Structure 1
Amino acid sequence: MPDLALDLRYLRYAHLVAEYGSFRRAAQAIGVNQSTLTRRVQLLERRLGIILFERKRTGVALTPLGSHFLQEARIGAEQLHRAVKELASLRAGHEGQLRIGLMGTLVQGPLPELLASFRTSYLGVKIRVEEASFDDNVAGISRGRLDIAFVIGEPQIEGCDAIRIWEEPLLVAAPVEHPIAKNAAVRWRDLADETFLVSSDAFGMKVAEVIGAQLRRFGRKPHISLQRVGRDNLMYLVEEGFGLTLAAESMLGATYPGLQLVSVQAADQFCWSAIWSNSSTNPAVKNLTRQLRQQYQPSPLPGAGTWRTHDRWR
C-alpha cells in the first residue's frame, strides 16, 4: 500500500505532465525547475509502485495503469480541494450556522440593523432565531444550544461574555380616554391604584418585576393581571380599558391609535445585552461579536465582560 500522506503537489505535478505531455512544458507552465518536478513525479511512482509515464524523445505518455490512477485520483483530489475550500470558509465564518436567542422583537431597535449588516457581510451563514425567556436563553448559551442571545438586563454569567447594546425607558401605555393619557409624564405614586396587564412572556415577567419593586416602595401591593396573549392582543386589551401596561418603544412593533404612551418619572431604564460563551469556537459568533464591539463604545463594569451602549436608543 502506498503512503496515504502523499504530498498533493506530487499528484498535481503528475496531472500537469499528463496534460502537457512533457516534463519540460509542465515545469515551465507553473514556474518550477524541471528537475524538481521530475524528481517528485518519480517519487510518486516509487511510492505507488507503478510507472505512470512512458518516457519518449518527443515527450511522455501515460501508461494504462497511470491513466487509470490519475483518472480516479482526480476525483478524490477535487473532492479534497472542495473540502479544504469549505473548511477555510467555515473557519473564516463565511459559512456555517448562527443560533440566536431573543427576548425582544426584531421589528424595532438596533437588532434589525445589526442582523441585516451581518447577513450582508456573511451571506453563507444560516441564521436561526428563537424567542425565549432570560433563563432559557442563558441556559441555551451555557449548554451550547444557542450561540448568542439578546436579553433584557446585564447578565454576569460565569464562562460568558456580554455587551450592553442599548437602553430605553419604560413607558405607561394607557387608553387615550384614560386620565393618565392627558399627562406628559406621571409618577409611580400616581399609578399605585391602577391595574396592570402583563403578558406571560419574558418581557411581561420583567415588567411585573419592575412594577412590584416600584410600588412596594410606597407600601402598596401592585394590581397585576397576567394575560396569556401576545403583545398585539395585550395592547388591544389596554385600548379596551381592561388596565394599563408598561411598554418599551422597541417592543411595540406597531401603531395603536387607541393608546397613549406616557413617560414615567424616575422610571427604570430597560437595558438590552448580548451574551455568548467565551469558549465558543463558532467563527460566526466571533465575527458577530467583533461587529458588536466595533459598533458600541466600551463602558467596563466590574466583574463582567465589556459593555457597550448605543446612544441612539438612550
Structure 2
Amino acid sequence: MELRHLRCFVALAEERHFGRAAARLAMTQPPLTTAIQQLEASVGARLFERNSRGVAITAAGAALLPRAISLLEQAGAAAREARDVGLGLAGSLRIGFAGTVLYRGLPQVLQRFAAAHPRLRLSLHELSSAEQLAELAQDRLDLGFVHTPRVPPGFSQILLSSQAFMACLPAGHALAVEGAEALELKQLTGAPFALIMRAVSPDYHDRILAACAEAGFEPDLRFELRHWLSVVSVIAQGLGVGLVPAALQQAGLPGVVFRPLAAPLAPYDTHCLWRTQRDLAALQAFLDTVRAVAQA
C-alpha cells in the first residue's frame, strides 16, 4: 500500500466517477484503474463496485476511507514540518546562557526572535561559561552565551554586549555615596571581598585579582560564589564588597550601591558562540537576530 494508491482511492471514493477522479488527480483513467486494482490486491478486498451511474463504494471501502484520509493528512503534515524545519521556520534550538545575560542582551534577542519565528521552540539552559563550552563540544547545545575570550578551534562568535565593571558596596559602607566621583580601587584595601568562583569564570576571577594586585593590595576573599547575583546578594547583606558587571544594577537588589572605577578594568564581554560547521537553518535565523541586537 503506497500513498499514491491512497490518493487515488480517496479521490475515487469522493468523486464516485473514474473520469472525474482522474481529472482531479491530473492523470488518465487507465493508471487510476491500475492503482485501485493494486490497492484492492494489497487490502485483500474489493473497495468499489461499478454501476450504471458510475462507482459505488463497498463496505470495505467505506471502512478504509477515514483511515486513508487520516494517513494522507499525517503524511502531508510530516512533509510540511520537514520542509519548514529545513527552511528554519520550525524546529527547536538548545541554548546555553550565563546568568548575567538576563540583564544585558538575551531578553532582547529572545523577544525579537519569538516575534519573527513563533514556531521555533527555544530550550534554554543556565550554565557557566566553562559548562557551556563542554556542552557545545559534545553537541548538547546548539549555541551558548558565554563570558570568556577563549574561543576553541572550530567555533565562531558574535560579540553581543560589552560592559564595564563597577565597585559594588553595601549601602552602609563609608564609600557608598551615590553620584560620587569614580572610586580608586585601592580604596577597597582591607575590605572583605565577594567574588565569582574561578571554576565558574576563570578569566574574570583572575582579572579582578590582577586589578587588585596592580592597585597595590591582595583582596581578602571571604566569599567565592557560583553566580554574580549571589555576589551582589552577599554584598547587600553588608558582608563584603566586590567588583561586578554594570548590568547587575538592573537586578534592583536593595542595600547596595554601585560606583564606577577611576581606572576601568577590561570590559565584561558577552559572546554568542556556536560550532562553525553546524548547518541548521534555525540556528542561522537565530544568529541573524543576535547580530541585529548586537548592532542596535
TM-score when normalising by structure 2 = 0.81
The partner residue of 1:287 within 267, 285, 289 is 285
Query: Partner of 1:44 in structure 2?
Result: 35
**Cα deviations across residues 212-252 of structure 1 (Å, max 9, x unaligned)?**
12233356433322244765554343244432111213234
The partner residue of 2:239 within 239, 242, 247 is 242
Relative to 1, partners in 2 of residues 1:82 and 1:194: Cα closer, same or farther, differing over 3 Å?
same
- What are structure 2's unaligned runs of at least 5 residues? none
Q: For 2:64 and 2:75, locate their aligned partners in 1 and report how far apart those are by CA, in whole Å.
A: 16
The partner residue of 2:71 within 47, 55, 76 is 76
Query: Partner of 1:158 in structure 2?
Result: 153
For the pair 1:140 / 2:138, whether they are aligned, the reply is: no
Relative to 1, partners in 2 of residues 1:140 and 1:252: Cα closer, same or farther, differing over 3 Å?
farther
| DSSP-derived class of the 2:69 partner | helix
Relative to 1, partners in 2 of residues 1:76 and 1:198: Cα closer, same or farther, differing over 3 Å?
same
Letter in 2 for 1:41: L
Relative to 1, partners in 2 of residues 1:289 and 1:205: Cα closer, same or farther, differing over 3 Å?
same
Q: How far is the alpha carbon of 1:20 from its aligned partner?
A: 1.5
Q: How far is the alpha carbon of 1:259 from its aligned partner?
A: 2.2
Number of corresponding residues: 289
Q: For 1:243 and 1:253, locate their aligned partners in 2 and report how far apart those are by CA, in whole Å.
A: 20
Q: For 2:102 and 2:293, locate their aligned partners in 1 and report how far apart those are by CA, in whole Å.
A: 20
Relative to 1, partners in 2 of residues 1:273 and 1:288: Cα closer, same or farther, differing over 3 Å?
same
For the pair 1:59 / 2:54, whether they are aligned, the reply is: yes
**Cα deviations across residues 47-87 of structure 1 (Å, max 9, x unaligned)?**
44646544444222235665555555334333322322332
Q: For 2:78 and 2:15, locate their aligned partners in 1 and report how far apart those are by CA, in whole Å.
A: 27
- What are structure 1's unaligned runs of at least 5 residues? 298-309
Query: Partner of 1:307 in structure 2?
Result: none
Q: How far is the alpha carbon of 1:109 from its aligned partner?
A: 1.4
Relative to 1, partners in 2 of residues 1:79 and 1:169: Cα closer, same or farther, differing over 3 Å?
same
Query: Partner of 1:16 in structure 2?
Result: 11
Q: How far is the alpha carbon of 1:151 from its aligned partner?
A: 0.8
Relative to 1, partners in 2 of residues 1:147 and 1:252: Cα closer, same or farther, differing over 3 Å?
farther
Identity in percent: 24
**Cα deviations across residues 131-176 of structure 1 (Å, max 9, x unaligned)?**
2221110110110111211111334222222111010100001134
Q: For 1:160 and 1:201, locate their aligned partners in 2 and report how far apart those are by CA, in whole Å.
A: 23
For the pair 1:25 / 2:20, whether they are aligned, the reply is: yes
TM-score when normalising by structure 1 = 0.77
